[in-house]
Amino acid sequence: MRALVLAFLFPFLLESSVRAAAPTEYEVKAAFLLNFARFVEWPADVFPEPAAPLVIGIIGCKELADTLPRMITQQTAQGRPIQIRELQSLESTQACQVLFIGRTAGASTSDELLKSVRKRPVLTVGDAEDFNAKGGIIRFLLVDKSVRFDVHARAAADAALKISSKLLAVARQVITAP
């Protein structure tokens, strides 16, 4: 399993290994977010035009918002350029295909955000302990000092998202119950 995770992250973590420093938690999370965008399929009508960017919105995690832009230089997902937006409000989530909700967003903000995008084709990712239980699709967690993730497959299906079996294979847990 560890080999699959490393193969999944290798292209993004190569830069860290060249620097001879272990990647930080946020570099690993950023690499995962980029790969999530590559291994999830959105309905065709989500994008207003064929060349529209895939937008990753981040709220409640300044460290990730600072790290991710450095890692996406010339990167694409689903043949689209990737755009990062640090979000300040609920309204700004409208144009996102991926929405990361950090712990510092607070429980009530997280609940509001999840409610606002429920059943919309938005891949929600977060790191709060109850993220999947509240309807979030992918939850980051630390296991033995390693970043891992759980996937709520039912929530993804409800959002009309198709998650690749390759992504599900490297998940720590796949939740299928409502």
Inter-residue contact 123 to 99 (CB < 8 Å): yes
Determine the structural domain holding residue 160 and report its residue range. Answer: 2-175
Most confident of 1-5, 8-12, 89-93: 89-93
Where is pLDDT greater, at 2 or 175?
Answer: 175
CA 105 to chain centre: 16
Confidence band of 66 (pLDDT split at 50, 70, 90): very high
Q: What percent of the chain has pLDDT over 90?
A: 65
Strand-strand pairing, 138-143 and 98-101: unpaired
Confidence of residue 20 (pLDDT cuts 50, 70, 90): low
Is the pLDDT reported for residue 89 higher than 80? no
Instruction: Look at the chain and report how many structural domains it folds into.
Output: 1
Q: What is the band of 94 on the pLDDT scale with cuts at 50, 70, 90?
A: confident
CATH at 171: 3.40.50.2300
